[in-house]
Structure 1
């Protein structure tokens, strides 16, 4: 039996069985009519609002949540494990039953979530692991709360999240007196936190490195209502994605919390929240980059719905303000591809999520430079190197610079001859699908878009793009 087992699992030879690769076969559309493009709810706003509503003493209605991505749903599931009750409502305002209440699944037709919070410091120790799935935001925002709960709490995620570092957050939490055990090497999860935080440790202040991500800072800001004492967070390094930490401060204030940003530190003051009765989740401005790319690739008009106000675009307003230079005529909701492409120089310090689709857009447009995006290396993939590798599969050349990318303009998309690797990254996957929708191709991955935009594939199919789920033979062991 031993020999047969060993023979079956050898990595070469006639009995070796490789796993199939799940992919999408994308065939271009022959249609030329305008393409409808509705932005999903902003996961940055929704995840933060969920966490604050969960700490509120009064119910809060979170509106405009239709097609919320998997990242936001991961936060919702984790909060329910912590004792928060969440109800689903349809567009008529009628309560609807969850499809799988045992697993805390949302109802797919819900447009409003009513969150019944447990008050400041009211989270219960979960009976099982808090699984953040692919959501780094959920994992890190819950990290401080896991440290506040008495007794061991385990945080975990999928394979992609296990490979991402949260060292800065863990280092800050350990300063609070929490005992922490975390994975080493390639897999950084699961993390086991044994709290609660100690007032004596918190009163001395917490040193926090903010040079690689703003999420650890947001984690502390959004834990402010539940901290056992006032706490000073000393900020170390040059901040990145500062609009996201500013969003956390703004939402905390909206929900009745207290935190003050000073020169070089933030002062957190725990207090009972006084939340709004409802909060309308704005559209996700970062997802509009794919609408612009689709407009440029297909030369079709795109009718874009859900673009948020400037203050809710959290850095992604650069799409609107630079649309003309990108070759896009953006008139109200209508995007039209023109001939006015110029070489552009864009600072993505507060919008590094735009890197993959913008790099593709510049390559087929006027070219230019995307800078201020060094921290994109710490996302689901190293988006600096992997954006180059992805676009190279379509015959588009991109060069890595010290803090971003430089892109030659007026390049032409070439249909890949092999399966298009997307490196387990939802923004690379979505970029690949849009590019393939104009030239054809097999895109590795079938559901990565669900992280942020549940309706992405359906939107393209409604515009005539043919998308088929297929299984390919793997070329790798």
Structure 2
């Protein structure tokens, strides 16, 4: 195989602007130690809650991807002072709960659905009007499931057809506290209602029949909000007392398990691999992929388990191991919803059949991740069957897949990274038609891949 051309030396190829094809070649093995960027979910929430505290908060390890930077820009537009020091520590001077200011213009959210939904919640109980805009991918994602509970609290929300962006939120102050049962498991909807409840008199409650990631509850409590979580036969009931006074905090953001997922899968499927991913957050509401991979036979060891800022953290040593197809337990879906594309790739190399269902929310992510991953894997010679809520995948038994395809990423960072991992153990290189969306969550992904022994060429 000819050696692929190197990207321009003056700038990492995966951080350039515009559309760029990335071709991933088969790796002999993957070895080394890496550290993935800070957790995206925690980074968003750290900026938002710091902006609502009175005084200076400090955030270390913040993910500096485009999605989180969009959150920082939005909070600046609404009055917070946010700076990044040369020491890479972010300092946020907040305006206090109830103190958000009217932004001068529309707030551009880029590709970040998390930012948009959570900020809609914040604005809903403040006396301001905010117009949210986004890129083509975000503008195609429905917001109705957030609009409905916020409207019941009194917010006036005008959306584009289909409940999509651009949309305008006119907040109501004081808003009306509600008790809202989630119709589908969604940490974003839960968090939007809780954030709206911060500036709402009385007690706002969210009932979630199926537990979702709990970063909002943990961080709200850490900032001093009065929040209670009760386990009942209806599910978890999360109650927040409004008109809160948040105290500034110092936050260390653990590594994002959704980013670590790609390297966990890569080291599991490429023969001879031995990779340590440092400082990975292991919040139980985010650990579904780790559980699923272990059920498949993955060799993953937790080193130096510890607690950082109230979140469980460990270094993960992942060594190649033969994987076996499984029927993925449905109750894992909420704790690995963002990791399903990576799981689909692991299944492609397992022995036998993997049935991964219970994930209908994948249809309304940055892309329809079920349909897009089916098309991508089929193009690489993998046999798949599509279901309304997932895929059945016939694995290769550890052998390389055919590869040789040009994959349409559909402006979806997780599709791009998942299929890049697939290319590491393929007979022919796998090309991602546009790798630029990776910068939304994981700038430096391809550079880390190469430090472990992967090869990427750019056009």
Q: TM-score, normalised by structure 2?
A: 0.83
Separation (CA, whole Å) in 2 of partners of 1:343 and 1:154: 45
| 2:251 equivalent in structure 1 | 279
Partner of residue 222, structure 2: 254
Q: Quote how far apart the aligned CAs of 1:288 are.
A: 2.0
Q: Note if contact 2:202-2:241 (Cα within 8 Å) is conserved in structure 1.
A: yes
Q: Structure 1 residues 148 and 89, CA, compared in 2 at 3 Å: closer, same or farther?
A: same
Shift of 1:468: 3.5
- The answer to whether the 8 A contact 1:162-1:188 is kept is yes
Q: 1:391 to 1:33 in 2, by over 3 A?
A: closer
1:353 maps to 338
Q: Distance in 1 between matches of 2:361 and 2:452?
A: 35
Instruction: Give distance in 1, aligned partners of 2:204 and 2:161.
Output: 29
The verdict on how the C-alpha distance between 1:422 and 1:413 changes in structure 2, with shifts beyond 3 A counting, is: farther
1:38 equivalent among 35, 39, 43: 35
Change (3 A) 1:78 1:286: same
Cα distance in 1 between the residues matched to 2:288 and 2:129: 42
SS of structure 2 residue aligned to 1:345: coil
Query: Secondary structure at 2:422's aligned position in 1?
Result: helix
Identify which range, 301-310 or 151-160, moves more after superposition: 301-310
* Structure 1 ranges of 4+ moved more than 6 A: none
Between the aligned partners of 2:393 and 2:301, the Cα distance in structure 1 is: 23
What is residue 317 of structure 2 aligned with on the other side?
Answer: 334
Report the 3-state secondary structure (helix = DSSP H, G, I; strand = E; otherwise coil) of the residue aligned with 1:400. strand
1:51 Cα shift?
Answer: 1.0
Superposition deviation, residue 171 in structure 1: 1.6
Secondary structure of 2:334's partner?
coil
Structure 1 residue 79 and structure 2 residue 50: aligned? Answer: no
Structure 1 unaligned blocks of 5 or more = 1-20, 92-109, 471-477
Query: CA 1:299–1:413 in 2, change beyond 3 Å: closer, same or farther?
Result: closer
Deviation at 1:45, TM superposition (A): 0.9
Distance 1:294 1:447, change over 3 A: same
Q: Give the aligned partner of residue 362 of structure 1.
A: 347
State the distance in 2 between where 1:208 and 1:181 align. Answer: 23
Using the alignment, how far apart are the partners of 1:131 and 1:363 within structure 2? 37
1:171 aligned residue: 148
The 1-side partners of 2:227 and 2:335 are apart by 21
1:243 is aligned to 2:203: no
1:468 match: secondary structure: strand
Find 1:224's aligned residue among 175, 189, 197. Answer: 197
2:307: which partner in 1?
Answer: none
Deviates more, 1:325-334 or 1:389-398: 325-334
Distance 2:123 2:181 in 1: 18
SS of match in other structure, 2:37: coil
TM-score, normalising length: structure 1? 0.80
Match of 2:168 in 1: 192
Q: Which has the higher strand share?
A: 2
Is the radius of gyration larger for structure 1 or structure 2? Answer: 1
- Residues 124 and 276 of structure 1, relative CA distance in 2, 3 Å threshold: closer
Per the TM alignment, residue 198 of structure 1 is displaced from its structure 2 partner at its CA by: 4.2
The separation in 1 between residues aligned to 2:60 and 2:148, in whole angstroms, is 36
Are 2:122 and 2:195, in contact at CA under 8 Å, matched by a contact in 1?
A: no
Of 431, 435, 454, the match for 1:442: 431
2:416: which partner in 1? 429
**Partner residue in 1 for 2:188:** 215
* Alignment check: 8 A CA contact 2:24 2:423 kept: yes
> Aligned-pair distance for 1:155?
0.9
Query: What root-mean-square deviation, in Å, do the aligned CA atoms of Structure 1 and Structure 2 show?
Result: 2.7
In the alignment, structure 1 residue 460 sits paired with structure 2 residue 449: yes
Matched, 1:451 2:419: no
* Compared CA separation, residues 171 and 391, structure 1 to 2 (3 A): same
* Unaligned 5+ runs, structure 2: 1-17, 304-315
* 2:57 maps to which of 57, 60, 78: 60
Q: Deviations 1:217-254 (Å, cap 9, x if unpaired)? A: 11121333322x1143464xx645x332x221121111
Number of aligned residues? 420
Residue 160 of structure 1 is matched in structure 2 by 137
Q: Give the conservation status (yes or no) of the 8 Å contact 2:226–2:244.
A: no
Given that 1:370 and 1:406 are in contact with CA atoms closer than 8 Å, whether structure 2 keeps it comes out as yes
Partner Cα distance (1:290, 1:80) in 2? 32
Q: 1:446 touches 1:469 (CA, 8 Å); kept in 2?
A: no
